[in-house]
Amino acid sequence: MNSLSRIPNDWPNRTRSRSIAVGTLLWHVQIAGDAGPTILLLHGTGASAHSWSEIINKLAEHARVVVPDLPGHAFTLHAPISSLRLDNMALELQKLMKALALPDPALVVGHSAGALLALRYAEINPEIQCIIGLNPSLVPPPASYTQLFGPLLSPLTRSSLASFILAKLAGASSMIDRLLDSTNTILPEARRVFYRRLFSQTNHVLGAMNFMAAADITAVLNQAKTCRAKLIWVLGKNDLWIPEQRLRQIISSYFPQATVIEWSGGHLMHELEPQKTVELILHELLLL
């Protein structure tokens, strides 16, 4: 285990944090619960374990909960660019679970791109019985999103220097607040502050941009028929990032066996309604 000095003292659930080196990666992972099946929570692009902060402790009463900062994000350090591809990241997750000496997860919950990663992880881990995807990014973002962030995904702007500049701009402007508002989820100030801190870090900006660029949706969809886990897709009716109508078409074509649930929230709805999210997870856990 390694020092946790890089984790701010006021970071959500810091007492749950562990630091562990696995290969080239120095992971930050939060673990709660001492018994029961293992639940793995995977955040989306640009987020971190903090996005599950109101959910972790509630689930810990019923299961062992593992919540990592994904490679390239937040306080998981030393991620080579190649590790930010979904298939490589799935392999790194497998190594992490083995290093932690924890049982393989029976249930994986992924938000946005975290749902894509959950599908990739299930390909190499047959122990996964259920995947819950919250606003899964199974479709390309809308044109308005692409116009705003597309230029940031070029090889030039995914460089360390460009990420340094973007981090400085984000920290000194309202850029992150505008980004959060574009999700159609009005987060309270108490939660916004953590996103501002994350995007003031060069390594986080670099990791998030490269993870977004490397997310091969087509490759995931082409492997959809091989998934043996139960699939629950939760769609935010008011999500401006993942268009619901197009998403339903993709689910119907590639995941006809999946259960589809509609909530009224935006892209970050699980952060505003943690209890509702917990109840859904526990309901599925009891059915395993």
What pLDDT digit, counting tens, does each position of 180-202 carry?
A: 888 899 999 999 999 999 988 88
> What is the three-class DSSP state of 287?
helix
76 with 210: CB under 8 angstroms?
no
For each of the domains in the chain, give its residue range(s) and CATH number, in order of start.
Answer: 14-141+215-287 (3.40.50.1820)
Mention every residue, 6+ apart, whose C-beta is less than 8 A from residue 275: 58
Model pTM greater than 0.85?
A: yes
- Mean pLDDT is lowest, of 12-16, 60-64, 81-85, 216-220, for 81-85
Q: Is the pLDDT of residue 230 over 50?
A: yes
The neighbouring-strand residues paired with 65 are: 32, 39
Closest CA to 69 of 132, 120, 6: 6
92 with 114: CB under 8 angstroms?
no
Question: How do residues 140-171 score in pLDDT, each as one tens digit?
Answer: 765 544 444 444 444 444 445 444 445 455 55
How many Å apart are CA 65 and CA 85, to the nearest integer? 24
Mean pLDDT of 38-53: 96
281 with 255: CB under 8 angstroms?
no
Q: Which long-range contacts (CB under 8 A, 24 or more apart) does 166-169 make?
A: 166/199, 166/205, 166/209, 167/199, 167/200, 167/201, 167/202, 167/204, 167/205, 168/200
Q: Please, what is the average pLDDT of the chain?
A: 88
Helix pair 160-171, 202-214: axis angle to 10 deg: 120
> What is the three-class DSSP state of 86?
helix
pLDDT of residue 172: 45
Closest CA to 117 of 21, 253, 28, 217: 217
Mean pLDDT of 33-53: 96
DSSP 8-state symbol, 112: T
Instruction: Please report which helix (H) or strand (E) contains residue 260, including its range.
Output: strand 259-263
pLDDT of residue 163: 45
C-alpha separations of 103 from 9, 19, 20, 66 in Å: 29, 18, 17, 11
Using a pLDDT cut of 90, give the percent of the chain over it: 71
194 with 7: CB under 8 angstroms?
no
17 with 11: CB under 8 angstroms?
yes
How many Å apart are CA 180 and CA 234, to the nearest integer? 20
Mean pLDDT of 76-100: 94
- Mean pLDDT is lowest, of 107-116, 134-143, 163-172, for 163-172
Mean pLDDT of 28-42: 96
Question: How do residues 235-286 score in pLDDT, each as one tens digit?
Answer: 999 998 898 899 999 999 999 999 999 999 999 999 999 999 999 999 999 9
pLDDT of residue 6: 95
